[in-house]
A and B are shown apart, each in its own frame.
Chain A
């Protein structure tokens, strides 16, 4: 929606400043939060927001709904952790290795599942994610099986390990903003238009000369890379990984839910979804995690269903519609 002619010039330039103010306040925010619990919530918002953004690049822009992104997340977490434990390799490098490994797997999966659309693609990726989980559980000699792997705590920048939470908050913020920036760039680039064209009408896109196969694979590679990177970040932050925390299918469902509720196929949607859901989950778990197990998942499910039924474009897009100020951003 273009701004109308009668819009005064000054207020338009004023509006352009708003996103920068938002980014700036995000930078200040971690310094203001003194409570460990809230800082933890903020870091997890960054982590899940970035991961959901990675999922969104494939599912949102290309319309290829993956239920197997838990495997990419897990590959990232296990690759960097195993390299660190066995070879003392810095997780920063491990993160890159894990990302490249995951995107090669993603590329292979993409090529194999080339012909599959909609439900069929979702089913194939579901099976793929489950294979990842089973391997992580059963390859005990490497992954430690269900007992998981504990990471060493030795604060050092090169080992991606810190004593306090603050550095993690800034690293998380960096990924969070980076994924939004990447999504925004894709959305407004040739690649984004190609992906959207493929999603909306594959035959028309191909008739117009879009190489739909190639752009889809590019989306797959970027998406799996980012998911794996967030897996490494998770491992370094939580310092413990096991199949059920980094490889479970629920992880894929969760990021999909964040993206859908926030606004699928938009750069900010997944971030908004994480901002809504992560605090709800954390508060519910802290207040009644033992007395009412699974309550936060019920609320997740109900919100997902309500959003799908009543605002399929997501809450983010709805807000944009309702609040004219946001429309210009």
Chain B
């Protein structure tokens, strides 16, 4: 493999990975704070894609601007979903927690199918049709590298949003409360934090983050009712690799998975690349369920115990 091709693949992988990172942060955050795996996470991604599509379609607003305009709407969808589905099952069995979001996912997918049909829809950016050409860089023996502007914009915005969210979590008072609740629910309760309002906020923020990712990729991917499922599987891989509950882990492993995906689809083909990362996924779960950046092992993995 020559260095031009390698760089080309690496750049494509990183650009893809930035989106995966942004989409997965919400999933890992919700798990970290509420100990709930949101199986409907991909459906919120899909809804945001559709909403952005309709705004672009009817009002001819720039897709990136539409994505930002839609944030309050997606936030509201998150709040409503929290009250209807998540809150009532917070104290339920794992079975109920898993299947409430599975049920939610089924309902959303098929409602979208019912109202907006199974047609594939996509938009194109008038100002971003031609590929950008980077290089050549003779010193590094690298010839011209092609970069899709839509992917580059999506990556840059996703990266900025991820970093902004990380800073919010690290520096703001609300962010600290969220982290405190994730770390120790009872201690947070004793300190006068209202877990219900933190859960509500966390869930809605998680949905907004995945919604932003959905809106950002609209110029790159086609949207259809089942697009969320393909993405949520990747998000699970990212979240488990990064360590469930770890935001930084999700950001880094999002990039890793993006690169792995691009390289494996180059080497073994588009169709089989998924097998690779699902096997990686099972392997991580088995060998190191706390992921690469897992937090305190005992706390995070109260349900995982070795046998004998």
Contact A127 B278 (CB under 8 A): yes
Task: Kindly list chain B residues whose C-beta atoms are within 8 Å of the C-beta of A308.
Answer: 89, 92, 96, 99-100, 103
Highest count of chain B CB atoms <10 Å: which of A113, A118, A292, A304:
A118
B128 at interface (Cβ–Cβ under 8 A)? Answer: no
Of A115, A117, A135, A264, the contact of B286 (CB 8 Å cutoff): A115
Residue of B nearest to A211 (CB): B308
Query: Which one, A30-38, A84-92, A162-170, A293-301, is touching chain B?
Result: A293-301
Contact A305 B104 (CB under 8 A): yes
Task: Kindly list chain A residues whose C-beta atoms are within 8 Å of the C-beta of B92.
Answer: 308, 312
Convert B97-134 into 0s and 1s, putting 1 for each residue whose CB lies closer than 8 angstroms to a CB of A: 11110111111011101100110000000000000000
B7 at interface (Cβ–Cβ under 8 A)? Answer: no
Highest count of chain B CB atoms <10 Å: which of A117, A135, A264:
A117
Of A67, A114, A127, A292, the contact of B114 (CB 8 Å cutoff): A292
Tell me the A236-258 residues at the B interface (CB within 8 Å). 249, 253, 256-257
Contact B114 A294 (CB under 8 A): yes
Residue of B nearest to A253 (CB): B102
Task: Kindly list chain B residues whose C-beta atoms are within 8 Å of the C-beta of A294.
Answer: 109-111, 113-114, 225
B204 at interface (Cβ–Cβ under 8 A)? Answer: no
Query: Which one, B65-73, B135-143, B210-218, B268-276, is touching chain A?
Result: B268-276
Convert A271-302 into 0s and 1s, putting 1 for each residue whose CB lies closer than 8 angstroms to a CB of B: 00000000000000000000011110110111
Contact B305 A117 (CB under 8 A): yes
B5 at interface (Cβ–Cβ under 8 A)? Answer: no
A120-B93 in contact given A298-B110, A305-B104 (Cβ < 8 Å): no
A75 at interface (Cβ–Cβ under 8 A)? Answer: no
A180 at interface (Cβ–Cβ under 8 A)? Answer: no
Contact A302 B107 (CB under 8 A): yes
- Report how far A312 CA is from B85 CA in the complex, Å: 14
Interface size, chain A (Cβ < 8 Å) = 48
Contact B96 A312 (CB under 8 A): yes
B95 at interface (Cβ–Cβ under 8 A)? Answer: yes
- Report how far A202 CA is from B308 CA in the complex, Å: 12
Contact A213 B94 (CB under 8 A): no
Residue of A nearest to B269 (CB): A138
Interface size, chain B (Cβ < 8 Å) = 50
A134-B305 in contact given A115-B289, A120-B285 (Cβ < 8 Å): no
Contact B109 A124 (CB under 8 A): no
B236 at interface (Cβ–Cβ under 8 A)? Answer: yes
Contact A213 B308 (CB under 8 A): yes
Tell me the A39-73 residues at the B interface (CB within 8 Å). 59, 63, 65, 67
Of B89, B272, B307, the contact of A212 (CB 8 Å cutoff): B307
A113-B103 in contact given A118-B94, A120-B303, A134-B275 (Cβ < 8 Å): no
Contact B307 A123 (CB under 8 A): no
B281 at interface (Cβ–Cβ under 8 A)? Answer: yes
A16 at interface (Cβ–Cβ under 8 A)? Answer: no
Task: Kindly list chain A residues whose C-beta atoms are within 8 Å of the C-beta of B289.
Answer: 115-116, 120
Contact B103 A304 (CB under 8 A): yes
Residue of B nearest to A125 (CB): B282
Convert A75-116 into 0s and 1s, putting 1 for each residue whose CB lies closer than 8 angstroms to a CB of B: 000000000000000000000000000000000000011111
Task: Kindly list chain B residues whose C-beta atoms are within 8 Å of the C-beta of A120.
Answer: 285, 289, 303-304
Q: How far is the CB of A291 from chain B (nearest CB, A)?
A: 10
A128 at interface (Cβ–Cβ under 8 A)? Answer: yes
- Report how far A313 CA is from B297 CA in the complex, Å: 33
Q: How far is the CB of A237 from chain B (nearest CB, A)?
A: 25
A305-B107 in contact given A253-B102, A295-B114, A312-B93 (Cβ < 8 Å): yes
Of B93, B106, B281, the contact of A297 (CB 8 Å cutoff): B106
Residues of B within 8 A of A (CB): 31, 37, 85, 88-89, 92-100, 102-107, 109-111, 113-114, 117-118, 225, 229, 233, 236-237, 240, 271-272, 274-275, 278-279, 281-282, 285-286, 289, 303-308
Instruction: Give the 8 A-B CB pairs with smallest separation, nearest first.
Output: A294-B110, A301-B107, A301-B106, A117-B303, A304-B103, A294-B113, A297-B110, A118-B94
